[in-house]
Amino acid sequence: MRNENPLFIVFEGIDGSGKSTLCKSVTELLLKKEIPAVAFTEPTHLETGKILRKFLRGEIDLNENQQIEAFLADREESLKQNILPSLCEGKNVLLDRYLYSTAAYQSGANFSPEDILKKNLEKNFKIPDLLFYLDLKPKVALERLSRRKGEKERFETLVQLEKIHAAYEKILPKNTIYINAENGPDQIALECFRIFLQRRNG
Ligand code: TYD
């Protein structure tokens, strides 16, 4: 059955909050119920996302302005090539990070979270129908991250996580759905799924 009103759903949170896992599990729950759905991430896996991944791995440096411009460019492609075509096909789109991440992560000495949010909104990027924010204390996030294997990414220190957490609180819109990220992953996924159904049916 074609879904006439697909929703654009965004997941945000600091590193270690579990939003990537959540985005995947909610997508699986939807598909299991035969609800058309597709998941994407930002930075994307498109050409514009490659430079950002190099930056995140510490292989290249970008100043604050270059970071913002690179994330904006990637977001344009993300919308053009992934998000908008999928919504047009009737699929619900679940996106792991969006413009709120740029406002939170790229804010610093030169740009406030509000400045960066404004830059994004001026681009007329599509506003999500549902915005989930996985709320987690930076200390708990860092403990989780230190248990993970592999290389540390750029923003994974306590000072940075605290800055990012505070920045999110400044810019998240009023209708953001706050999720307590200390709850178990299955419980959180079901909570988001139920909220999705309510929104779709209501
Ligand atoms: P993340 O989403 O946590 O995925 P993974 O765990 O697979 O690496 O990592 C993406 C990183 O990109 C994260 O540290 C935040 C950063 N980022 C920004 O700094 N600005 C942005 O606009 C976006 C979308 C991501």
pLDDT score at 142: 95
- Supply the residue whose CA is at minimum distance from atom 13 of ligand 1: 15
Please state at what angle helix 47-56 crosses helix 64-77, rounded to 10 degrees. 140
Q: Which atom of ligand 1 is nearest to the CA of 153?
A: 14
Any domain includes 171: yes
pLDDT score at 150: 72
Strands 130-135 and 37-41: unpaired
**CATH number of the domain where residue 139 is located:** 3.40.50.300
Mutate which of 46, 97, 100, 160 for ligand 1? The one with the most ligand atoms within 8 Å of its CB, which is 97
pLDDT score at 148: 84
Q: Which atom of ligand 1 is nearest to the CA of 16?
A: 3
How many structural domains is the chain composed of? 1
How many angstroms separate the CA atoms of 86 and 3, rounded? Answer: 11
The CB density around residue 100, as the number of other CB atoms within 10 Å, is 24
Low-confidence spans in the chain with pLDDT less than 70: 1-3, 149, 151
Range of the domain at 145: 8-201
How many angstroms separate the CA atoms of 76 and 124, rounded? Answer: 10
Any domain includes 2: no
Any domain includes 20: yes
Any domain includes 160: yes
* Nearest Cα residue to 71 out of 109, 39, 104, 108: 104
Residue 129 per-residue DSSP state = S
Any domain includes 129: yes
Any domain includes 153: yes
pLDDT score at 153: 76
Considering the entire predicted model, what is its pTM? 0.96
State percent of the chain over pLDDT 70: 98
Any domain includes 75: yes
For 131-165, the pLDDT digits (tens) are: 999 999 999 999 999 988 676 777 889 999 999 99
For 12-21, the pLDDT digits (tens) are: 999 999 999 9
Query: Measuring from each residue's beta carbon to the nearest atom of ligand 1, which residues come in under 6 Å?
Result: 15, 20, 42-43, 56, 71, 96-97, 101-102, 105-106, 153, 155
pLDDT score at 3: 55
CA 156, 157, 161 angle in degrees (round to 5)? 80
